[in-house]
Structure 1
Amino acid sequence: MNTQVRTRPGPGTRRAGRRGRAAWRGYLYVLPALAVYLLFAVLPALHSAYLSLFDWDGVTLGSWTGLDNYREVFADPALRGSVLNALILVVFFAFLPILAGLAMTGLLILPGTSAAGAPRRRPGMGAFRLLFMLPQVVPLVAVGVTWRWLYGDDGLINETLDGLGLGGWSRAWLGDFDWALVAVGIVGAWVLSGLCMMLFLSGVQKIDPQLYEAARLDGAGPVREFVSVTLPQLRGELAVALTVTTVAALAGFDIVYVTTGGGPGEETTVPGLLVYRLAFSDGRVGLASALGVVLSLLILVLVYVINRLSRPQT
């Protein structure tokens, strides 16, 4: 006579089962967002990489070209020049806003700490935040139109220079071959400085107040306190700011399109604008896709380097 002995699962088995069910529930929560991401980000990127291997005008049947489009990207001076312009804009869109954001953060944080031990903030902080974040709220098309008027021959900048007796510096800034790219870069720096400042101000709030107290006991003044305490503790925020602004510089389109349209000549042409022209004006979708793939890989490499450099040293 066979007797079957039934054993109840142990506590460890039950806990493992509960963890497994909880993990599956977590995946179900993120499934809608993952589906949207796959549908509207991953699949179009893969499709663009596929189209980059064809010579296609967007209408008729395309012909296989292999890596010829990528060879043209690296061989064509205009295509290489657009990537170089984007790298130059990184200085204006990334480094200048970060420096300006750090300076504004240092000015808005008063020496000493509050009663709670946190860094004291200057009165009217809300008004300062609103003022500096305004460029982020205004549509970039409106920003471009406004700055195009400011840079005009009879715009506010030239009128101010004439009023100060510096009429020799007046010029058609957006039409000058030497100054057009710099003028566009200044617009980007103005737009992104407020974003960097907000990131740094939020990072300051999480710094341990005891670090400031220790620095003051060692005789540190406001500048030394900012350099030795605040700046090292903002490593994560600096990495985020550098990543966001670098991507904005390399993938930028709207500010350049509205202000200069890529001119004069090709002096302010950037890859985003060139992709638009190749795909929708010249009917060279395959070449536009290849340039987009190269630009995406360049962004991924730079973001990876930024994240590696921003990791705490162990």
Structure 2
Amino acid sequence: MAGRSMVGLVWAGPALVAYAVFVVYPFTQTVRYSLYDWDGFGSARFVGIENYRRVLTDPQLAGSIGHAFVLIVFFTVIPVGVGLLCAAALSRVDRGPVGGLARAVLIVPQILPLVGAAIAWTWAYSSEGAINQLLRAVGLGGLARPWLADFDLALPAVGLIGTWVSLGFCTVLLLSGVGRIDKSLFEAARLDGAGHFRELTTVLIPGVRREITVCVTVTVIAALASFDIVYVSTGGGPGTETMVPGVEIYRLTFLSQQVGQASALGVALTVLVLAVVLPLQWLGRER
């Protein structure tokens, strides 16, 4: 038994060393920096938990965390909900040309780099972009606007980019879960007179519980730690209406040289992600 344990340790050793060097050590350093007022070059001044206090009290820093929670609606709630409906519909379609084309279209956002997706959507959202041209073509020109420069609509507009990116991932993963469900369960539900909604809530959703947990976990982390899409599309603007922790950490570190404050926000974001994800993992366990 001891020999098998040693063999396992030998095989896992390189991965553990890499994890310690590239994850554990940088995180401990980040925690250390978060206790100092430091610009990254000169001498550091110990300030204790002052940086963390500012994370909770500064309107801009706290607001960036609030924006990240708003993005959960677009990165998680909408893609998982719509993905369930798409998976249910696609499960009824034979794997012919139509089904294959639908799956290919849904998976395209997962192939594209997030930076490329953000650039494409920025063009579409511009004053003369595809969205405004479509609105004018159907007689709704009064609704046209520079979406990413609108103080009220910039955050939802950015969120919809995340919806587009996450939808394909959620649908494909949920569709694989639907394929594991015993077809006799659907037949029994129909024989009992269950409609589509009842079939969805009593057979399909319980059958893909593990896949839903994975979708929610991955997309919640993507929402809370979002950077690429927001930075490329708006840079946190207009004003600070789309500022999220990832962009704020970048701004504090490289533009304001407040490494200690950026480290505190990074640690707070890590704790926040764990506080959200761990309960989700517990709720998603099979019982």
Secondary structure of 1:290's partner?
A: helix
Superposed CA deviations along residues 148-207 of structure 1, whole A, max 9, x for unmatched, are 110000111111111111111111100000000010000000000000011101111222
On the 8 A contact 2:88/2:175 being kept in 1, the answer is: no
User: Which of 38, 43, 55 is matched with 2:25 structurally?
Assistant: 43
The residue number in structure 2 matching 1:287 is 261
Check if 1:163 corresponds to 2:137: yes
Amino acid at match of 1:69: N
Query: C-alpha separation between the residues in 2 aligned to 1:209 and 1:32?
Result: 44
Amino acid at match of 2:226: G
The residue number in structure 2 matching 1:105 is 87
Superposed CA deviations along residues 15-68 of structure 1, whole A, max 9, x for unmatched, are xxxx22112212221111121111111111111011100111111121111111
Amino acid at match of 2:268: V
Amino acid at match of 2:40: G
Deviates more, 1:126-135 or 1:246-255: 126-135
Check if 1:94 corresponds to 2:67: no
TM superposition shift of 1:221: 4.2
Check if 1:137 corresponds to 2:111: yes
The residue number in structure 2 matching 1:258 is 232
Query: C-alpha separation between the residues in 1 aligned to 2:108 and 2:183?
Result: 30
Query: C-alpha separation between the residues in 1 aligned to 2:128 and 2:236?
Result: 22
Query: C-alpha separation between the residues in 2 aligned to 1:241 and 1:108?
Result: 18
Secondary structure of 1:197's partner?
A: helix
Amino acid at match of 2:147: W
TM superposition shift of 1:277: 0.5
Query: C-alpha separation between the residues in 1 aligned to 2:53 and 2:262?
Result: 13
Query: C-alpha separation between the residues in 1 aligned to 2:193 and 2:203?
Result: 13
Amino acid at match of 2:33: L
Amino acid at match of 1:272: G
Amino acid at match of 2:41: V
Amino acid at match of 1:253: F
Secondary structure of 2:120's partner?
A: helix
TM-score by length of 1: 0.88
Amino acid at match of 2:269: L
Query: C-alpha separation between the residues in 2 aligned to 1:169 and 1:217?
Result: 48
Select the structure that is richer in helix: 2
User: Which of 151, 155, 167 is matched with 1:193 structurally?
Assistant: 167
Check if 1:28 corresponds to 2:14: no
Secondary structure of 1:301's partner?
A: helix
Check if 1:148 corresponds to 2:115: no
Amino acid at match of 2:257: G
Correspondence 1:167-186 to 2 at 5 A: 167-186=141-160
The residue number in structure 2 matching 1:312 is 286
RMSD: 1.4
TM-score by length of 2: 0.96
Query: C-alpha separation between the residues in 2 aligned to 1:156 and 1:214?
Result: 47
Q: Which structure would you say has the larger Rg?
A: 1
Superposed CA deviations along residues 194-231 of structure 1, whole A, max 9, x for unmatched, are 00011101111222333233323323344433322111
Query: C-alpha separation between the residues in 2 aligned to 1:289 and 1:219?
Result: 57
Superposed CA deviations along residues 63-113 of structure 1, whole A, max 9, x for unmatched, are 111111111111110001100000000100110110121111011011xxx
Secondary structure of 1:262's partner?
A: coil
Amino acid at match of 2:107: M
TM superposition shift of 1:122: 4.6
Q: Report the identity percentage.
A: 47
Query: C-alpha separation between the residues in 1 aligned to 2:276 and 2:152?
Result: 27
Check if 1:70 corresponds to 2:44: no
The residue number in structure 1 matching 2:96 is 123
Amino acid at match of 1:28: V
Secondary structure of 1:165's partner?
A: coil
Amino acid at match of 2:96: P
C-alpha change, 1:217 and 1:24, in structure 2 (3 Å) is: farther
